[in-house]
């Protein structure tokens, strides 16, 4: 088998994208190198290990803000047998843990892939289906340039071994094509590149069949990779706009850490009296020895009597007065830091109260308005990820023999109304003629949950009574919170009162337990 012309281009595309993914991961993890104004500054900070200080990582917040509202609540088909198969797939592939990890990769890197591939027995029969998560640093789907919605192929590459035994594997996966008999046939081309000493005499990619399977495999299992992406054709990390602000925040934090020692232990100095005849050399460098011109105080053979360490006293002979150097004002660092955090909130469209929760308490309406751009992003991601997840499960079910099944992925609503103002608005909508089902769905409740509620209500009056009750409870909670802030009641007392009210309400069948 000659080397495929697709391999070089696909592998180059994969490797060229890796630095951007590595950068996104570094900013998400808070593992970014600081930017220094000069090499001298870098050496000074390294001297005190300040270059190793952990970052104050705000750039993670825009990603977590999305992920905290991006939860799959159910995956179902409406068919009991198929739904049982989905439950088995979830258990077998640990999707309770893997699926949130996939969403985290997609949001923090911009892309992630789920691979759907059958597990075969010795006779080649499908016994189960694997659904595994892959990073965009190892897998990349290549789209047709002329028809951007069509997949040309996918490349998957990884390293095996290390040192002189290191090899690079690369597999090309092609989408289905119609075979001679009208059947759907896909293929996989497998390659290897030996990089270590054993590679002498071997140049470039070679067909791989070292595991006993052929270098080219044809199969009827379809295209295995399902691309989760925040944008098209390739995604953009949710915290991409935070990179610049986070780099400056890192610089401010490290620089302020360097100043703290000088605030605790200021440097002191003594001023020379020029009227006093002083024996001995007073200058830090001797003008009679020009070879010292290029020397620096940090060099081992140039011992200076003036140390830049905290708490040091610059003692010069014959001084007439003493004083101390003032350290930089902390506001020089903290004021810009606050401004950069606000800038990060603005450029990533993440509510500022998620960066700083110590400000004034917001009303429910104000919080919903502030959260609107974030909720819009979550809604966009649900619409982007949902169909891909549905296709992946339908693919897995098809491999297990379930034909013509439609999978529906349901998401937790990104925002729910629980405050008094919100429920008062619901009450007003119903009174104005808005259908009660629609009014309740607009509070962020799942339609099935709303239908369950409405099935237990006899008439609109019952709904109005319950909405009024929820409004009253919201007002009570708000009033208790105000009382705690004013010091008229403690947190414990407020909690006890609220528990007593809720308990009495449940016992009177005014509110169903668990709602």
CA–CA distance, 345 with 171 (Å, rounded to integer): 41
**Residue 23 phi, psi (nearest 5):** -65, -45
126-134 vs 111-120, strand pairing mode? antiparallel
Alpha helix ranges (H) inside 314-459: 331-348, 364-399, 420-431, 436-441, 447-455
End-to-end CA distance of the chain: 65
Q: How confident is the model at residue 335 (pLDDT cuts 50, 70, 90)?
A: confident
Q: Is 473 part of a structural domain of the chain?
A: yes
Residues in the chain, overall count: 515
pLDDT digits (tens, 9 = 90+) for 266-316: 665 556 666 655 555 444 444 455 555 555 555 555 555 555 555 455 555
Q: Is 85 part of a structural domain of the chain?
A: no
Q: How confident is the model at residue 166 (pLDDT cuts 50, 70, 90)?
A: confident
Q: How many Cβ atoms are within 10 Å of 334's Cβ, its own excluded?
A: 12
User: How are the residues of the chain apportioned to helix, strand and coil, as percentages rounded to the nearest 5?
Assistant: 45, 15, 35
Structure tokens at 153: 């192929």
CA 6 to chain centre: 32
CA–CA distance, 369 with 419 (Å, rounded to integer): 14
pLDDT(351) > 80: yes
Q: Is 71 part of a structural domain of the chain?
A: no
193 close to 168: Cβ distance less than 8 angstroms: yes
Angle at CA of residue 203, ends 201 and 205, nearest 5°:
135
Q: Is 438 part of a structural domain of the chain?
A: yes
pLDDT digits (tens, 9 = 90+) for 207-236: 999 888 999 999 999 999 999 999 999 999
DSSP per-residue codes, 87-127: HHHHHHTTHHHHHHHHHHHHHHHSEEEEEEEEEE-TTS-EE
Q: Is 445 part of a structural domain of the chain?
A: yes
CA–CA distance, 335 with 340 (Å, rounded to integer): 9
Q: Is 403 part of a structural domain of the chain?
A: no
Angle at CA of residue 130, ends 393 and 121, nearest 5°:
125
Q: How many separate domains does the chain show?
A: 2
Mean pLDDT for 68-82 is 94
Q: Is 471 part of a structural domain of the chain?
A: yes
Angle at CA of residue 329, ends 327 and 333, nearest 5°:
115
Range of the domain at 442: 420-515
Q: Is 155 part of a structural domain of the chain?
A: no
Against a cut of 0.75, is the pTM above it?
no
pLDDT digits (tens, 9 = 90+) for 33-57: 766 655 555 555 555 555 556 668 9
């Amino acid at each position: 088998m000659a080397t495929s012309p697709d391999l070089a281009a696909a592998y180059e595309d994969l490797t060229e994208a890796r630095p951007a993914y590595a950068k996104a991961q570094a900013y998400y993890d808070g593992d970014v190198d600081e930017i220094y104004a000069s090499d001298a500054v870098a050496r000074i900070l390294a001297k005190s290990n300040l270059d190793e200080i952990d970052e104050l990582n705000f750039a993670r917040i825009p990603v977590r803000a999305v992920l905290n509202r991006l939860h799959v609540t159910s995956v179902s088909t409406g068919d009991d047998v198929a739904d049982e198969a989905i439950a088995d797939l979830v258990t077998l592939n640990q999707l309770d843990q893997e699926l949130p990890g996939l969403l985290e990769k997609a949001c923090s890197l911009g892309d992630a892939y789920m691979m759907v591939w059958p597990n075969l027995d010795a006779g080649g029969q499908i016994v189960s289906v694997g659904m595994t998560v892959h990073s965009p640093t190892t897998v990349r789907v290549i789209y047709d340039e002329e028809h951007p919605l069509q997949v040309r192929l996918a490349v998957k590459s990884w390293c095996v071994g290390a040192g002189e035994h290191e090899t690079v594997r690369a597999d090309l996966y092609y989408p289905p094509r119609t075979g001679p008999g009208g059947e759907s046939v896909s293929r996989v081309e497998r390659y290897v590149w030996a990089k270590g000493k054993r590679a002498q005499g071997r140049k470039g990619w070679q067909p791989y069949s070292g595991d006993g399977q052929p270098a080219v495999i044809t199969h009827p299992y379809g295209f295995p990779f399902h691309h989760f992406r925040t944008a098209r054709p390739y995604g953009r990390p949710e915290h991409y706009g935070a990179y610049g602000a986070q780099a400056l925040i890192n610089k401010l934090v490290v620089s302020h850490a360097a100043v703290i020692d000088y605030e605790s232990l200021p440097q002191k100095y003594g001023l020379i009296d020029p009227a006093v005849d002083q024996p001995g050399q007073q200058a830090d460098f001797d003008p009679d020895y020009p070879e010292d011109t290029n020397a620096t105080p940090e060099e081992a053979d140039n011992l200076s009597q003036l140390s830049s360490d905290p708490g040091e006293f610059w003692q010069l002979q014959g001084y007439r007065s003493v004083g101390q150097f003032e350290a930089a004002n902390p506001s020089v660092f903290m004021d810009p830091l606050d401004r950069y955090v606000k800038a990060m909130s603005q450029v990533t469209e993440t509510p500022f109260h998620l960066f700083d929760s110590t400000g004034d308490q917001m009303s429910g309406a104000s919080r919903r308005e502030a959260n609107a751009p974030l909720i819009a992003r979550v809604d966009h991601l649900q619409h982007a990820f949902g169909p891909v997840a549905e296709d992946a499960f339908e693919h897995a079910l098809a491999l297990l023999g379930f034909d013509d099944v439609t999978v529906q992925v349901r998401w937790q609503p990104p925002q729910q109304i629980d405050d008094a103002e919100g429920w008062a608005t619901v009450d007003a909508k119903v009174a104005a003629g808005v259908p009660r089902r629609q009014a309740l769905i607009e509070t962020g409740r799942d339609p099935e949950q709303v239908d369950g509620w409405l099935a237990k209500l006899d008439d609109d009056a019952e709904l109005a009574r319950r909405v009024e009750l929820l409004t009253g409870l919201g007002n009570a909670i708000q009033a208790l919170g105000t009382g705690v802030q004013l010091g008229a009641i403690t947190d414990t007392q407020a909690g006890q009162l609220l528990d007593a009210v809720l308990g009495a309400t449940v016992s009177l069948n005014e509110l169903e337990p668990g709602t």
